[in-house]
Structure 1
Amino acid sequence: MPRDHIWQQISSLLGSAENSITLIAPFIKKDTFKEILEIVPAGVEDIRCVTRWSVPEIAAGVSDPEIIDLMEFDKRIKIYLCHSLHAKLYIADGRCLIGSANLTGKATGRVSASNIEVLIESETSHQEIQRLLATVEAHSIVATSDLAQQLREQADLLREDDDAPMLVVPEQQEPSRRWMPETRRPERLYQVYNGKYGSVGSDVLAAVLRDLAELDIAPGLSLEPFKEAVRGRLLLIPELADLRDTGRLNMKDARDELIARSGCTSEQAQRSVETLAEWLWHFDEVHLVPVGAWEIRQGREIT
């Protein structure tokens, strides 16, 4: 089997299209996308692309938001983002290929150190293909040039930060450590998430970007869904189990548990617990109660 067998499969399918094509892949590199467009017959009227833009992945170099630039030269292209996307599916009219290969040089066999991939041909009418398409459509948003530029800028800043978490590519590698909030300014998260950080100091910005990289929240959310996503991730932190399960958390107990779990000093653990309290105050409905050691309790305090 030739090294570029996957590329030959994709080329053959898309080259036979008459009306429309759909490209669904989490990772799409601009050079590979350009080569795809050269294959698509001129008579095809619609080119629909669904992908995933995540700041850590862009920083790691596996995905290029710059594919949005190609829309300026080919008005048939429409690009959508689906943050939970893992499937790889390529459709030409009523036929499709489904399998493991992204639209990258390594996945398609266009570079020497290529991946081992598989694509299986199927009819688009297959019930599982239809289920996948419906799910992807329900969870997708329209990609824009502004969003592409914003995510690229954040990815570049993350790459320049020596203290940033290791750039982990989801699907390929598990994080080496669990996340605890770093920034003491959680109110800055949504501002930076939206690319508005001209007035944010460099130290605060770096910490916020590191937290956003660990959170890896879908782009383009409005404020309330963003806060809900952060809140959901916070409540997965083991030290907050009591708050999640009983509605209250003793801060001394949380500090002691953090010391036992991570081996950090008492001072470090105290700072982490105080930071967690700041985040919970901003993203959740909680209040502090001076009962022995202070407690965090669910619900806003009525004054």
Structure 2
Amino acid sequence: MSTTTARNETEASGVAVMPERRDLHFLPPADRIQDWHALGPHMTQFMNTLSLFFPAGERMFIDAVRSYRDQVPDPDLKKAATAFIGQEAMHSREHVEYNKLMAEAGLPADKLDEFVWDLLDWLRDNTPRSFPLSATIALEHFTALMGNALLDKPEVIAGSQEDYERMWLWHALEEVEHKAVAYDVYEKTIGRGPLAYLLRSGGMVSATVIFWPLVLAFYLRMTAASEACRKVGWRGHLKVANTLFGRPGIFRRLIPEWLGYFRYSFHPWQQDNSHHLAMIDKLAAEAEAAYDTTRH
């Protein structure tokens, strides 16, 4: 699908790629929760830190899209919104189980998770109804970019414990698959004019200044509580920094796409990465087979 085709399909039908709800289960081994990533315990804790934001964050995404779904005039987009809600519910369920493994291993996951829930509840109760949706489309842009980075550079996670690796790849693929749904709901219900642009830009600024400092603070809390990280010491932090901002610098490479969000004419499918979705059925089949094997 070309960028032009994707945008044209969005204009015509309200959705360029139709998401699919997949009821997949993952049972990553509890004994690897502190050191499952091939790049070591610090990168493990960085990925674990991201997981801490998903249960509460995805509940906010679900509620924000659901609150506008009935106002969507396009039946295809309404169907996509329902699939989006289903996918996010599955993500939340699996990350709740994942985060329990951290808490059981003595990491401060419960306290940090509770903080995220309290923060997002406060934002929901003290901001206009449109703000959670504007924050949702900003954070969906983050998750889609991070998911795409993982898919573009699979060597960053290759060789990790296979159940954790499979779970993160599944999440990345579905973030790509539904990356434009909340955005299209926003455009169809709130609009595309100057005020809508200011609201979505403000949502991105707010999401950036809140989310990333929390990620850093949580990561430092998690690594300080991890015996494996303490054994490696400060060199582990350097490895994470190099992976994210040096070479391969997966986050450094995202900066132009982050800035692209502030274009007046921005749309998520202007970055056409739909080719990655060709692998999702195979990965889903592998996940189902692994889950069946583990249960029996």
Larger strand fraction of residues: 1
Q: TM-score w.r.t. structure 2 length?
A: 0.23
The two structures have a TM-score, normalised by structure 1, of 0.23
Return the structure number with greater relative CO, CA threshold 8 A, min gap 6: 2
